[in-house]
Amino acid sequence: MTNEVPYSVRAVHCDYRAEDEAVYEALKRATEPLTRVWDRLKRAKTIALKFNQDFPPDHLVLFEGMRQSLVSDKVARATLRLLREKTTAELFVADISAYQQRDNMDPTAFIQIASVLNEFDVPYVNADLPPFGVYQVPGGGQMFKQYVMSECLMQADALVNVQRMKSHAFMGITLTLKNLFGLVPMQEPDGRSRQYFHHLVRMPYM
């Protein structure tokens, strides 16, 4: 006899050309039966969101006017709208730009969903800035037992993760866990830099 509660996976069809309202209705239809998730989100006072959206504007690839490899404005808008309608939590988006150090620029220059965040008055938190904390992996981890992470992020009551499914040389495909990798700080000496973990052997065991 196991005490583990079975997880649920939901999928619904939504054409990539759909308008905002149709995307919102699809997201609502997909998530409505996830009652345990909504119970937790409704209890939360603060909810952090991680969108797969950070990218240099001059290298952005579009397909029929939409970002090919990143979360679309329509999905971001639907997510924030649904959370605002169904919760009373304070929302903030956390991310770490992999391009700010390379290009020596303000990380906000790479926020692809900036207009949507402004529309919903949702602040952006640079999780690459202190204060940091050392956090243990529940169950001990497969390769690493602890990570250095942003205290602001880890103190949130819940985290909503929104990503695109893409192929990846190390992970096979990018899903929720690969998107969360974007919250590992780039800075040293507070901990191992993110580049250390982005490795053929290490990454699948994070």
Q: Tens digit of pLDDT per residue, the chain (206 long)?
A: 466 778 888 999 999 999 999 999 999 999 999 999 999 999 999 999 999 999 888 889 999 988 988 999 999 999 999 999 999 999 999 999 888 766 667 778 899 999 999 999 999 999 999 999 999 999 888 888 988 899 999 999 999 999 988 776 766 777 777 788 889 888 765 666 777 777 666 777 66
pTM value is 0.89
| pLDDT of amino acid 153 | 94
**One-character DSSP codes across 153-191:** HHTSSEEEEE---EEETTTEEE-HHHHHGGGS---SSSS
State which H helix or E strand residue 38 sits in.
helix 35-43
CATH topology of domain 20-205: Rossmann fold (3.40.50)
Residue 103, helix vs strand vs coil: helix
In 65-131, where do the E strands start and end? 66-67, 90-95, 124-126
pLDDT of residue 180: 84
Domain ranges of the chain: 20-205
